[in-house]
Structure 1
Amino acid sequence: MGPQILFGLLLALYVAGTHGMLHPYYSTCETGTCTCTASTCGRNAQCSIVGGRPVCSCLRGHSGDPLTNCIRLASRSYIHAYPVHGIL
């Protein structure tokens, strides 16, 4: 396994651990310099450059596919305001 492949695998594992997704390389790094643009990531997602490549991740309090759309999660205050009690 070459060093570039190994680096790519390690980077993918790192990104997976941070709940981000690598953006397809060819779409924003054609000139060798990667940048985040308004269309790099999906709705309710943010872009950051990690290892020279754009990585999309959902905003805090959101979940989903950061390349297309992240959905706002229910707030914890709502969950605590209306607790569910079960009877055994």
Structure 2
Amino acid sequence: MDKKEYIRRLGCFLTDNGMTMDGPNLAEHLNWNNFRTSYGTEYVGKRGTYTLIHATYDWLVSIGEQADADKVAEAFRKSDNTYAYHKS
């Protein structure tokens, strides 16, 4: 399973269970599952993590999976509780 599919499934699980997750917690999950950044380093829950969330959202929209994209949007939040899939 690739990173985007992992985030898709995790986002659906979180949303279906009324939960959310921030970038640092997602980074812990990604690292624990041995996913690495494009530089081969661990995620730290900052820009790279949020870029991956945004890329996952865009990918889901592009393949016609708007319902799952919406779940990813709902599930992952920034520390100020705004949507993580929005570019700053």
Please identify the structure whose Cα radius of gyration is greater: 1
Higher strand content, 1 or 2: 1
Fold shared by both chains (TM-score > 0.5) = no
Higher RCO (C-alpha 8 Å, min separation 6): 2
Task: Name the TM-score, length of structure 2 as normaliser.
Answer: 0.27
Higher helix content, 1 or 2: 2
Task: Name the TM-score, length of structure 1 as normaliser.
Answer: 0.27
